[in-house]
Amino acid sequence: MKKNIITAVLYTVVTAVLLGVVYPLAVTGLAHLIFPKKAEGSLISQNGTLIGSHLIGQTFSGPTYFWSRPSAAGTGYDASNSSGSNYAPTNAALATRVTATVQTLNPKGTNAAVPIDLATASASGLDPDISPAAAYYQVERVAEARHISPDAARALVAAHVTPRQFGLLGEPRVNVLELNLDLDKVAPVAAK
């Protein structure tokens, strides 16, 4: 009996060290060697300043920027509170929030359809991408606020459309942070 207990404890300790320490360190080390940028969180820096991550959305407000998909994660894009709202389509709170968002996006009351990803949050609440339709929907507002032609803004969006992976996985998408960073380069906001 004593021998069986000692064997079980030793197996537990060895397994815990191998699978809980050695294996994760080896995989992390390999990831840093093979994919250093991805292993560090796909961070985006500009002039030595950390701007954000390619993988986590950010809030953009005001007419001069393309807006991200709404976030249900905490106070907005809070990775420690990642989740969707889990509201059913018939939930009154969801309907109220979506209606308010649509009115913000379409304040003139035109009947233009607002792309669904501009009015609803993703499952994680951290989605950094919007659909090309959602980006093109915002072109007129951003172009007017930046004093550039809508064609120039459309061309910028077109340059940022990422197609389906391998031509069949996922949907075409636009990374909002990268689009807005390039927008700042092409048409900087005038200082007030």
Q: How many CB atoms neighbour CB 47 within 10 A?
A: 5
Residues 9 and 60 in one domain: no
Is residue 164 domain-shared with residue 140, that is, in the same domain?
A: yes
How much of the chain, in percent, has pLDDT values that exceed 90?
31
Higher pLDDT, 80 or 56: 56
Please tell me the pTM assigned to this model: 0.73
Same domain, 85 and 21: no
Q: What is the rounded CA–CA span in Å between residue 7 and residue 15?
A: 12
Same domain, 11 and 105: no
Cα 77 to the chain's mean position, in Å? 8
Could you give the CA distance from residue 40 to residue 37 in angstroms, rounded to a whole number? 5
Question: DSSP strand E in 60-136: where?
Answer: 129-130
What type of residue is 87?
A: Y
Task: Judge if 10 and 73 occupy the same domain.
Answer: no
66 and 137 in one domain? yes
Both 168 and 100 in one domain: the answer is: yes
Residue 141 maps to a domain: yes
**Cα distance between residue 151 and residue 135, in whole Å:** 13
Same domain, 47 and 101: yes
Of 40, 55, 70, the position where a domain reaches its end is 40
Structural domain including 4 reads: 1-40
Q: Are residues 112 and 171 in the same domain?
A: yes
Q: Give the tens place of pLDDT for each residue, 100-150.
A: 777 777 766 556 788 888 888 777 777 888 999 999 999 988 998 899 999
Question: Residue 74 has what pLDDT?
Answer: 64
How many domains would you assign to the chain?
A: 2
pLDDT of residue 192: 44
Nearest to 171 by CA among 83, 38, 69, 82: 69
Residue 170 lies inside a defined structural domain of this protein: yes
Angle between helices 150-159 and 176-186 (to 10 degrees): 140
**pLDDT tens digits, residue range 8-42?**
999 999 999 999 999 999 998 888 888 877 777 77
Cβ atoms of 186 and 148 closer than 8 Å:
yes
User: Is residue 68 domain-shared with residue 14, that is, in the same domain?
Assistant: no
> Given pLDDT bands bounded at 50, 70 and 90, which one contains residue 45?
confident
Residue 192 lies in a domain: no
Q: Are residues 34 and 122 in the same domain?
A: no
